[in-house]
Chain A
Amino acid sequence: VDYQHVQVPFEITLWIMLASLAKIGFHLYNKLPSVVPESCLLIFVGLIMGGIIYGLNDKSPPVMDSDIFFLYLLPPIVLDAGYFMPSRPFFENIGTILLYAVVGTIWNVFGIGFSLYGICQVKAFQLQDVSLLHNLLFGSLIAAVDPVAVLAVFEEIHVNEKLHILVFGESLLNDAVTVVLYKLFRSFCEMPTIKTLDIFAGVGKFFVVGLGGVLVGLIFGMTAAFTTRFTKDIRVIEPLFVFLYSYLSYLTAEMFHLSGIVAIIACAMGMKRYVEANISLKSHTTVKYFMKMWSSVSDTLIFIFLGVSTIGENHEWNWPYICFTVIFCLIWRALGVLVLTFFVNRFHVNTITGKDQFIIAYGGLRGAICFSLVFLLPDFHRKKLFIAATTVVILFTVFIQGMTIRPLVDLLAVKRKRESAPTVGEQIHIRFLDHLLAGIEDISGHWGQYYWKDKLEYFNSKYLQKILLREYDQPKSSIVLLYEKLERKHAIELAEAGQLGHAPSHPSLLCRGFLCSNNDKTVIMDKTLEDTLNSDVLENIQEILARNLYRIRRT
């Protein structure tokens, strides 16, 4: 038995297997996922596992290594989020999102840091030795809203698109602020004296980190789009490029101490448009499902490790400090949201209602990023206190806030996502209104969002598309793409219905045969759909399908 040889991959695979089996288990009980969000259940499983390991070995179970988290577990989730981010609502609300992410996070950090310092001054709690700097450092890592946790919870409660994008966008973009503040305070801890110059350097660093991250991401995104222009003959490795370039952008940004999350999001959003036009349909499906799978696995693993790492001797339970941390987190977030929304509503047409504000404040979940950051802290004698406080805050937000947010959403009757099939007519009219608004803005001299969007489109069509798209003389407008997608779906449905009527003798073989021939025939349908889809062509498709189906049945 040569266990040493395979130990590392074996254990990793076992953990992933455990995570996936746990997920299957939850969904077997139909009622459970609707009451308790998946993330809670996963943490619970992790807690049990941690307890078992602790009981068996009588020492602390392996704590999730911060490197593993930041380098392997986090990127897939952020990539998935960035790639499938609906860009229209995101850019419409980008001002608000940035305001919440940047100003809101700074507000939270300083608020929590200073109030905790105030608590430390109270002699009764025996916390005199926790300095202001330490408190600010702690504040900087606990204040950030976590994208993983937010995604896990908000995925199951379908709130309206704008609210979703606000909370989600904020959780993704506040990484830049968190990185800067955390590193800043940490280096301050090690410096003997702090000059004002250092503080200004910190502020400047924030811009460098944020904008640098975006720049790195965009460079890699454009390179990826450019590469896919030439992959016509090697379709099989096309999906690989998407993943490689995104991961590279993340790693490069981290290497230069820029914000990796912002980089990977910029990369994904930048390249999406061009890559989707260049790669084949099958590659597109592959990319989509691989991304979803990886991010799902990462997500599950993170929560389980959170649970496992909670058990153990890493904690110092100073209850007053911990309780006040939780309370201050809630208070400062609520205050921050209120104040910022007040300003936002003054300047924007899109008003954010009181109910939405409540959900934004309540949905500020902390998660694994805080946890990893606290383990990365340099060892000083109060580190265990911080670890304990972070753990409690995370568990509190994920369990209590995560579980109660769904009933609250129902109770407050927050506007939910409208479930409706997209229609070509709607797309046309929306596009029409875009142009109309751009024109009106030109006339009135007002540089609003339509003006910039128009300028970007113009720049895009004149320069970028020529370089980055393969068949650059035929870029398809989104109206046409949507139309083709809908017609394709319609044709498949029609052909299916027509086909099942033709050969009733082997229904199971028919279905399986039809399904596998379906994927290959979509390529043919692509070409036939270039002409108009009237009934003649439809019959054509049915003939093709019938012929091929017969061939498969014969073999």
Chain B
Amino acid sequence: LSREDFQRIPELAINPLGDRIINAFFPEGEDQVNFRGFMRTLAHFRPIEDNEKNKDQNGPEPLNSRSNKLHFAFRLYDLDKDDKISRDELLQVLRMMVGVNISDEQLGSIADRTIQEADQDGDSAISFAEFVKVLEKVDVEQKMSIRFLH
């Protein structure tokens, strides 16, 4: 599958995060994704089942654990892959989601407030741990789960 194939899906074109989602499927620098890679990405969204929690705690974490789901979302924010969501990256996402009616200044202050709420180590950017903390009360396991093929 190439990027053009994804872009042909009509609803994805109007989704504000469409491009980023498409990019998430393709591993570093490649332009094609095979079925295996496609499945790997979608596997993040498998619902968490109870019996899996009791299986081996020492083995590698399954792709659909809460932490990996959050990591997937984090990577969509973090375009330059420096493990931090900077103010600019946040601004870009906000601009896409909020639309064109809000002034840049107001958007900037919203971004500032978001970073201020989440930032604990004072680096004016949101690290992965801080991101997890903001979403700790949200039921991410259930939100980011789709029942495929039932």
Contact residues of A with B, CB < 8 Å?
347-350, 418, 420, 423-426, 428-433, 435-444, 446, 448, 451, 454, 458, 473-477, 479-480, 483, 486-487, 530-534
Contact A443 B135, beta carbon cutoff 8 Å? no
Question: Within the assembled complex, what's the spacing in Å between the Cα atoms of A531 and B109?
Answer: 9
Contact A448 B138, beta carbon cutoff 8 Å? no
Set B98, B137, B143, B150: member contacting A347, Cβ < 8 A = B150
**Scoring B residues 1 to 17 as 1 if CB is less than 8 Å from chain A, else 0, what string do you get?**
00000100101101111
Contact B117 A476, beta carbon cutoff 8 Å? no
Question: Within the assembled complex, what's the spacing in Å between the Cα atoms of A443 and B76?
Answer: 16
Interface residues on B, range: 35 or more
Contact B98 A477, beta carbon cutoff 8 Å? yes
Chain B nearest CB, measured from A502 CB (Å): 27
Question: Within the assembled complex, what's the spacing in Å between the Cα atoms of A440 and B108?
Answer: 29
Question: Within the assembled complex, what's the spacing in Å between the Cα atoms of A349 and B21?
Answer: 22
Contact A446 B148, beta carbon cutoff 8 Å? yes
Contact B97 A479, beta carbon cutoff 8 Å? yes
Chain A residues with CB under 8 A of B142: 349-350
Chain B residue nearest to A423 (CB atoms) is B117
Contact residues of B with A, CB < 8 Å?
6, 9, 11-12, 14-18, 21, 42, 45, 47, 73, 76-77, 93-94, 97-99, 101-103, 105-106, 108-110, 113-114, 117-118, 131, 134-135, 137-138, 140, 142-148, 150
Chain B residues with CB under 8 A of A454: 11, 15
Contact A483 B113, beta carbon cutoff 8 Å? yes
- A sample of 6 cross-chain residue pairs with beta-carbon separation below 8 angstroms, ordered by A number, consists of A424-B117, A433-B73, A442-B12, A451-B11, A531-B106, A532-B106
Chain B residue nearest to A418 (CB atoms) is B137
Contact B134 A438, beta carbon cutoff 8 Å? no
Chain A residue nearest to B9 (CB atoms) is A442
Contact A426 B134, beta carbon cutoff 8 Å? yes
Chain B residues with CB under 8 A of A474: 101
Contacts A431-B97, A437-B144, A448-B146 hold; do A425 and B17 have CB atoms under 8 A apart?
Answer: no
Chain A residue nearest to B119 (CB atoms) is A425
Chain A residues with CB under 8 A of B137: 418, 420, 426
Chain B residues with CB under 8 A of A438: 11, 15
Question: Within the assembled complex, what's the spacing in Å between the Cα atoms of A424 and B131?
Answer: 13
Chain A residues with CB under 8 A of B114: 424-425, 428
Chain A residues with CB under 8 A of B106: 480, 530-532
Chain B residue nearest to A479 (CB atoms) is B98
Chain A residues with CB under 8 A of B97: 428, 431-432, 435, 477, 479
Chain B residues with CB under 8 A of A437: 45, 143-144, 146
Contacts A424-B117, A458-B14 known; 12 new A-B pairs at CB < 8 A:
A349-B142, A424-B114, A429-B134, A430-B143, A432-B77, A438-B15, A439-B15, A440-B45, A443-B6, A479-B98, A479-B110, A532-B106
Chain A residues with CB under 8 A of B146: 349, 437, 440-441, 444, 446, 448
Chain B nearest CB, measured from A472 CB (Å): 11
Question: Within the assembled complex, what's the spacing in Å between the Cα atoms of A446 and B146?
Answer: 8
Set B6, B16, B138: member contacting A430, Cβ < 8 A = B138
Chain B residues with CB under 8 A of A431: 97
Chain A nearest CB, measured from B150 CB (Å): 7
Chain A nearest CB, measured from B19 CB (Å): 10
Chain B residue nearest to A162 (CB atoms) is B139
Chain A nearest CB, measured from B87 CB (Å): 13
Question: Within the assembled complex, what's the spacing in Å between the Cα atoms of A448 and B47?
Answer: 14
Chain A nearest CB, measured from B106 CB (Å): 6
Contact B14 A475, beta carbon cutoff 8 Å? no
Chain B residues with CB under 8 A of A446: 146-148
Chain A nearest CB, measured from B26 CB (Å): 13
Chain A residue nearest to B141 (CB atoms) is A349
Contacts A347-B150, A436-B21, A454-B11 hold; do A480 and B102 have CB atoms under 8 A apart?
Answer: yes
